[in-house]
Amino acid sequence: MFKVPDNQVAGHQARDGKLGPLIDDSGRFYKPLQSDERGSNEVAFYTAFSSDARIPDHIRRFFPVFYGTQPLKASDGSGLHPHLILQDLTSNRLNPSLIDIKIGSRTWYPEASEDYIKKCLKKDGESTSVALGFRISGLQVYESKESGFWKPDKEQVKKFSAEDVRLVLRKFVSSNSIRDSDSDPNCSFASTVYGGSAGILAQLLELKAWFEDQTIFHFNSCSVFFMYEEESVLKGGSSGAQVKLIDFAHVVEGKGVIDHNFLGGLCSLIKFISEMLTDLDESTTEACLLDSEENHICSDN
Amino acid sequence: MFKVPDNQVAGHQARDGKLGPLIDDSGRFYKPLQSDERGSNEVAFYTAFSSDARIPDHIRRFFPVFYGTQPLKASDGSGLHPHLILQDLTSNRLNPSLIDIKIGSRTWYPEASEDYIKKCLKKDGESTSVALGFRISGLQVYESKESGFWKPDKEQVKKFSAEDVRLVLRKFVSSNSIRDSDSDPNCSFASTVYGGSAGILAQLLELKAWFEDQTIFHFNSCSVFFMYEEESVLKGGSSGAQVKLIDFAHVVEGKGVIDHNFLGGLCSLIKFISEMLTDLDESTTEACLLDSEENHICSDN
């Protein structure tokens, strides 16, 4: 009944006898509670969030549905272990392209221990978090039936520089061979997946408007998660582009202050994506202009 | 010809034989270059900014006008010392109320030395910077001819908690005795100074729109500076409410990334001010409703 999810791109994985999340056939995702306060904190967040009437419906849809907790046989064979029961975000999706982006230039929170803060500061500085206000935690991009997914391993992802991040956000929406580091990603799905009224950028802007106002929670070390289905785009259907928020083990109370750390990082990511769309627009326009100039010269002769 | 400015609320002051800024009668402000790289960095910023055609005029007006540098007899009597020549922001202002707010939850920048980062981290955590995304660096609030200014000293300002900051932002626009910690600030100038189409909130929102887009500079450890004139408000004139940006010793290149640290802090400050205006609106409305209910009861009897 339970199996290891195919579509996990970051976090602990239930492989090789390790503790990790499981899924079932009914569209549920079982996440083992981390044994320290992170586990209980994530349960506390989902419980508080689920029943908080201040969260508008158009924001609630960015969060996985929460079905409670349940003791389950752990994937590491250690016996019963409490699990969060959540919506499986990628159930019913065919070969989804996915990216997990941890938001915030700071992943620690003021109340944490000195050791924890030190560890986070190091990770934030070595990754792109401090520089960009976010870092990529993992991804998979569907290429084709033949070549399957491009899924760089953890060590590769960890080393992403600011330029790598810019490139990966383009590769994420490209149809040409993205493993080949020489070829320029063609961004052929950018306008469908990132752009448009139902695209990822529009969804991020909706989230941004909420973060400018909400002072209920501070989402430390939380990720935005993008999904879409390439085959659906190629068939001319909806891309199924969706943004979700995940990983709430370090959420703390907002105490009447907005989450300026999350908001700043989110705005930086929004700028990366909107700039890409503008650049593509301009290069299309330029190509058209060049084209019409050439035609003009031709008709002159 | 040169004198020590009356209206300085933060930073090094040219008193008791110390090195600090001077002003003259022509509306210029002479800021001694700090001897380490901070001095040369601030000159480099003003020089680059002044000639950068990408800065729109409606943003340029938030910055002090830069007139170059000049060796001047230093206020500490140490002889000639290079000074930045800037616009004196408070010249021609009668008893201005002023507040200097350092923006950003992080005042260090990634390229700084480990020691410098450590020092900043400590200051940011002990002040409200980490929690609120900004901290008050200094202020003066004009009370009356008799009592002059309320100007808490550096040590007091350093200890401001999140609640103190909320209170001080209210005191800044109140006409009742603000030294008295028992009395609630009446916020009688809030709608004129913070609100309205030319008020401080509108100006901050203009800045915010620019920070969502600009990737030229990162304004580390930079302040927004609010000014207004109480006597002008009382006479029914314009409040002269103005926002300026100051202190650019730690500005670095943006390298194509928005200044998410400044933007996050700015959004947090905007939320504090807009919330205050909303609360005041609601309490006015409530008072009106109460009033009309009472009248209703009266007319019933």
Record: contact B265-A261, CB cut-off 8 A: no
Q: Which residues of B touch A162 (CB under 8 A)?
A: 255, 257
Q: Which residue of A has its CA nearest to B125?
A: A110
Taking the Cβ of residue A258 and every Cβ of chain B, the question of whether any pair is shorter than 8 Å is answered with yes
Contact assessment for residue A102 and residue A221, using Cβ atoms and an 8 Å cutoff: yes
- Sign of the dihedral through C-alpha A164, A269, A263, A249: negative
**pLDDT tens per residue across span A66-122:** 999 999 998 888 889 999 999 999 998 999 999 999 999 999 988 889 999 999 999
Distance from CA of A172 to the nearest CA of B (A): 20
Evaluate if residue A300 carries a pLDDT over 70: no
Q: Does A135 touch chain B (CB under 8 A)?
A: no
Considering only the beta carbons, identify the residue of B212, B213, B267 that sits closest to A258.
B267
Dist CA A31 CA B296 (whole Å): 59
* B133 neighbourhood in chain A, CB within 8 Å: 257-258, 260-261
Reported ipTM: the value is 0.92
The CA distance from B25 to B291, in Å, is 52
Sign of the Cα pseudo-torsion (A73, A74, A79, A81, in order): negative
Residue A8: predicted pLDDT:
85
**Whats the size of chain A, residue-wise?**
301
Tell me the sheet residues that pair with B252.
Answer: B218
pLDDT greater than 60 at residue B295: no
pLDDT at residue A172 above 80? yes
User: What are the structural domains, with CATH classification, of chain B?
Assistant: 22-87 (no CATH), 96-284 (3.30.470.160)
Is residue B162 within 8 angstroms of chain A, CB to CB?
A: yes
Torsion of CA A252, A255, A258, A261, to 10 degrees: -40
Q: For residue B110, give the 3-state DSSP assignment.
A: coil
A130 in contact with B at a CB cutoff of 8 Å? yes
- Band of pLDDT at residue B299, cut at 50, 70 and 90: very low
**Best of A260, A272, A278 to mutate (most B CBs within 10 Å, chain B):** A260
Pull the structure tokens for residue A274: 């909107």
Closest CA to B124 of B114, B135, B113: B135
Pair of tokens at residue A280 = 């593509």
In Å, how far is B215's CA from the nearest CA of chain A? 9
Q: Distance between CA atoms of A161 and A172, rounded to whole angstroms? A: 16
B106/A contact by beta carbon, under 8 A: yes
8 Å CB contact between A40 and A90: no
Tokens representing A248 are: 């709430």
B61 touches chain A (CB under 8 A): no
Per-residue pLDDT tens for A215-240?
Answer: 999 999 999 999 999 989 888 878 89
Taking contacts as CB-CB distances below 8 angstroms, the residues of chain A near B125 are 110
Q: Which helix (DSSP H) or strand (DSSP E) does residue A102 occupy? A: strand A96-103
* Gap between the Cα atoms of B15 and B12, Å rounded: 9
Q: Which residues pair with A84 in a beta bridge?
A: A31, A69
C-alpha A220/C-alpha A106 separation (Å) is: 8
Backbone angles phi, psi at B86, to 5 degrees: -125, 165
Would you say residue B288 has pLDDT above 70?
no
Name the residue in chain A with its Cα closest to that of B271: A213
Top residue of B207, B260, B263, B277 to mutate, by most chain A CBs within 10 Å, is: B260
Contacts of B77-81 with CB under 8 Å at 24 or more apart are: B77/B17, B78/B19, B81/B19, B81/B32, B81/B33
Query: What span, in angstroms and rounded, lies between the C-alpha atoms of B170 and B189?
Result: 9
Task: Tell me the torsion sign for CA atoms B73, B74, B79, B84.
Answer: negative
Q: How many residues in total does chain B contain? A: 301
